């Protein structure tokens, strides 16, 4: 039996690099979907504090993360001493539309990492 995919939404509250409209729409659609997901205020801040929650997320296995650039998210987890496993999908709310991010999070399309 495969473990369900865990969804993590980052609100990027402190960096303010993700368009506000995209963040709000993704959060609203996730909330309306009825699918369980975790929301954090800011992965950058969690990494700086080496928050133990990063380790729990990294150990979850199948994770889809809505945040910013995949390379930045992977670096944040590594800097927080919780490197992500292979197969983690990072969706970039800085450059993707809210619909694209939500469809990928909920499995309605083929999620892809935006390279950068």
Lowest mean pLDDT among 19-23, 50-54, 59-63: 59-63
Task: Give the domain ranges of the chain.
Answer: 6-105
Sign of the CA dihedral with 64 first, then 68, 71, and 77 last:
negative
Q: Does residue 80 register a pLDDT over 80? A: yes
Q: What is the pTM of this model?
A: 0.87
Q: Does residue 10 register a pLDDT over 70? A: yes
pLDDT in tens, 22-35: 999 999 999 999 99
Contacts of residue 30, Cβ cutoff 8 Å, sequence gap at least 6: 7, 9, 37, 39, 102, 105
Contacts of residue 82, Cβ cutoff 8 Å, sequence gap at least 6: 54, 55, 57, 58, 59
pLDDT in tens, 36-49: 999 999 999 999 99
* Cβ contact 105:66 at 8 Å: yes
Instruction: Identify the DSSP state of 84.
Output: P
Task: Return the structure tokens found at 13.
Answer: 């509250």
């Amino acid at each position: 039996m495969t473990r369900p995919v865990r969804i993590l939404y980052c609100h990027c509250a402190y960096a303010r690099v993700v368009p506000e409209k995209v963040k709000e729409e993704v959060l609203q659609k996730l909330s309306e979907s009825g699918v369980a997901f975790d929301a954090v205020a800011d992965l950058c801040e969690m990494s700086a504090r080496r928050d133990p929650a990063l380790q729990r997320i990294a150990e979850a296995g199948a994770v889809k993360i809505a945040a910013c650039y995949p390379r930045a998210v992977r670096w944040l987890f590594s800097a927080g001493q919780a490197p992500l496993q292979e197969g983690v999908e990072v969706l970039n709310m800085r450059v993707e539309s809210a619909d694209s991010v939500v469809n990928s999070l909920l499995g309605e399309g083929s999620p892809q990492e935006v390279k950068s």
